[in-house]
Amino acid sequence: MDYFMVVISVLATLILPTSWGSQLPNFILLFADDLGFGDLGSYGHPSSETPNLDKLAAEGLRFTDFYSTSPVCSPSRAALLTGRYQTRSGVYPGVFYPGSRGGLPLNETTIAEVLKPLGYATAMVGKWHLGVGKDRMYLPTRQGFDHYLGVPYSHDQGPCHNLTCFPPNIKCFGYCDVGVVTVPLMANETIKQQPVSFPDLEEKYRDFATQFISSSARRTQPFFLYYPSHYAGLGAAGRSLRGRFGDALMEFDSTVGALIQALQDSGVHNNTFIFFTADNGPELMRRARGGNSGLLKCGKGTTYDGGMREPTIAYWPGRIRPGVTHELSSTLDVLPTIAAMAGATLPRVPLDGVDMRDILFSHGPSKRKAIFYYPTDPSEKYGLFAVRVGKYKAHYYTRGAAHSDTTPDQDCHMISFLKAHDPPLLFDLEADPAENYNLATPDHPEYRPVLELIEAQKVQFERGMVFGQSQVAKGSDPTLQPCCNPDCTPKPTCCTCS
Ligand SMILES: *[C@@H]1O[C@H](CO)[C@@H](O)[C@H](O)[C@H]1NC(C)=O
Ligand SMILES: *[C@@H]1O[C@H](CO)[C@@H](O)[C@H](O)[C@H]1NC(C)=O
Ligand SMILES: *[C@@H]1O[C@H](CO)[C@@H](O)[C@H](O)[C@H]1NC(C)=O
Ligand SMILES: *[C@@H]1O[C@H](CO)[C@@H](O)[C@H](O)[C@H]1NC(C)=O
């Protein structure tokens, strides 16, 4: 090698990292609330109108076998943001309440915290549901998000009786919590509005998200936008074929369209990875106003596939080839995948996720061999309720849930109490995705080796699972409920600001 070549190669090593540095990809993580496997047009729903999500599915990679880690909200979100089961972080049993003392522990590392050391701008818009706590210590601003606009928990965790949900003045329908403060809208750590105005919430979210994209792009700063939606704010009221749920979905879908437009207008469309999935299955108890799990069994609150298998899309023009993948994947895998794409350092803690880049970029095989199903209230006593290895799923325990009441299938209902299965129920999810036909019957001993294989995976997994202290079991304190007017009386009704 002559002197000239040496200089060139030294220059290349000096220059390349920086030029790659400025090419760090942007990330948009869209997380729908209570969305079932059968809810999108691209997943077969006949009357949903989701043209923007369907376009992402057509031009990106659509997953058929993607799972969340919990059939309810807070634990599922904790696992998505940390790449770790909720049992490790302590985000169980059930969900957080407005006055919860606990939250996602601050020593857990979120995707935002993984990206920040590389210079990412980070923002979250929408539903947090990982705690508020004393002095707002658990808000997203304390977990790596520079900017936050949203409701810190579920939109139905406050009295909604007299609130307008749909323009012009249609009152909210169904069950909301009473005896707590009305639902606040927060900007970073400040309450901006209480109660939040649902009819224009989606528009506020949309403006915030598109401005974050364009201002980050203008500064040529790589960005991470986490947008967990809740179906509220309904510019599409009455416009979809599918009633209220369809209207809300259509409104969310139009935000997705606005985000894509903002990426294109900012010239960063080709350098942005978009990932879409949902927290848990549909809330069937809301009847036609809830979601739909399609051909899967039951919905929210259960460890049947309808409770945890989610519509999922990965999109990156020019990088991800259009197609469909049947590989097993999980919300746990999002953090390791994003970290690998950005070249970020993984948190030095036991992670449960695997890198999905082979699936995304070469439609290759998953590094994940199994899906583990925890119930809403995981415990060391009962352990996993079900395990899927390859196409086979074994149920060790089954139980219905109030969230899945009302469909004709009794197994889904609250009155179907906990039932242990020994031998486990065994289903072939490729031949029988609806979990209708148990294979492990006495006249079919040929399935014993399959059960033994699944049992071995279960034993190995549970041996490595260390339960963190339950954050939800710390209970609630009414004085911790977010109140825009902290010294007012009588609480909670005086916590009102416009
Ligand atoms: C966070 O702190 C708690 C309490 O000290 C500890 O049990 C837990 O292992 C820590 N978690 C992580 C991810 O470091
Ligand atoms: C939120 O905090 C960020 C970072 O400190 C700041 O730039 C932004 O202006 C704040 N947003 C609001 C609405 O206060
Ligand atoms: C709803 O509004 C009516 C009339 O303003 C009031 O009398 C009633 O107490 C309110 N109900 C609740 C649950 O806030
Ligand atoms: C983005 O990628 C598409 C498809 O590969 C290509 O046609 C287009 O020219 C690219 N646009 C930019 C701005 O690079």
Atom of ligand 1 nearest to the CA of 347: 13
- Ligand with minimal distance to 320 CA: 4
209: left (phi over 0), alpha (psi -120 to 50) or beta: alpha
In CATH, the number for domain 386-468 is: 3.30.1120.10
At residue 22, the pLDDT reads 54
Ligand 2 center from residue 123 Cα (angstroms): 10
Residue percentage of the chain with pLDDT more than 70 = 94
> What is the tens place of the pLDDT at every residue in 290-316?
999 999 999 999 999 999 999 999 999
At residue 19, the pLDDT reads 38
Residue ranges of the chain that CATH labels 3.40.720.10:
25-370
Q: At what angle do helices 201-218 and 243-265 cross, to 10 degrees?
A: 20
59 pLDDT higher than 90: yes
Instruction: Give yes or no for residue 179 CB within 6 A of ligand 3.
Output: no
10 pLDDT higher than 50: no
Pocket, ligand 2, Cβ cutoff 6 A: 146-147, 187-188
**Any idea which residue has 């057509």 for tokens?**
58
Stronger pLDDT, 156 or 498, i.e. the higher one: 156
3-state secondary structure of 255: helix
Cα 6 from chain centroid (whole Å): 49
Instruction: Give yes or no for residue 348 CB within 6 A of ligand 1.
Output: no
Specify whether 73 is catalytic: yes
* 18 CB-near residues (< 8 Å, 6+ apart): none
At residue 163, the pLDDT reads 84
Ligand 1 center from residue 85 Cα (angstroms): 14
Stated as kind and residue range, the H or E segment containing 147 is strand 147-150
pTM: 0.94
Residue ranges of the chain that CATH labels 3.30.1120.10:
386-468
Give the residue, by CA position, lying nearest to ligand 2 atom 2: 147
Specify whether 129 is catalytic: yes
Ligand 1 center from residue 285 Cα (angstroms): 37
Region of poorest pLDDT, from 42-56, 94-108, 167-181: 167-181
At residue 18, the pLDDT reads 40
Give the residue, by CA position, lying nearest to ligand 3 atom 4: 162
> What is the tens place of the pLDDT at every residue in 437-491?
999 999 999 999 999 999 999 999 999 999 999 999 999 999 999 999 999 999 9
Instruction: Give yes or no for residue 158 CB within 6 A of ligand 3.
Output: no
Region of poorest pLDDT, from 19-33, 205-219, 299-313, 363-377: 19-33
In CATH, the number for domain 25-370 is: 3.40.720.10
Ligand 4 center from residue 329 Cα (angstroms): 28
> What is the tens place of the pLDDT at every residue in 320-333?
999 999 999 999 99
Average pLDDT of span 19-38: 86
Atom of ligand 1 nearest to the CA of 469: 7
- pLDDT range class, residue 358, cuts 50, 70, 90: very high
At residue 172, the pLDDT reads 79
393 pLDDT higher than 60: yes
Q: Which of 32, 325, 71 is nearest to 40 (CA)?
A: 32
Give the residue, by CA position, lying nearest to ligand 1 atom 5: 107
Ligand 1 center from residue 350 Cα (angstroms): 11
Give the residue, by CA position, lying nearest to ligand 4 atom 3: 318
> What is the tens place of the pLDDT at every residue in 138-181?
999 999 999 999 999 998 899 988 888 777 787 877 678 999 99
> What is the tens place of the pLDDT at every residue in 60-86?
999 999 999 999 999 999 999 999 999
Give the residue, by CA position, lying nearest to ligand 4 atom 6: 318
At residue 198, the pLDDT reads 87
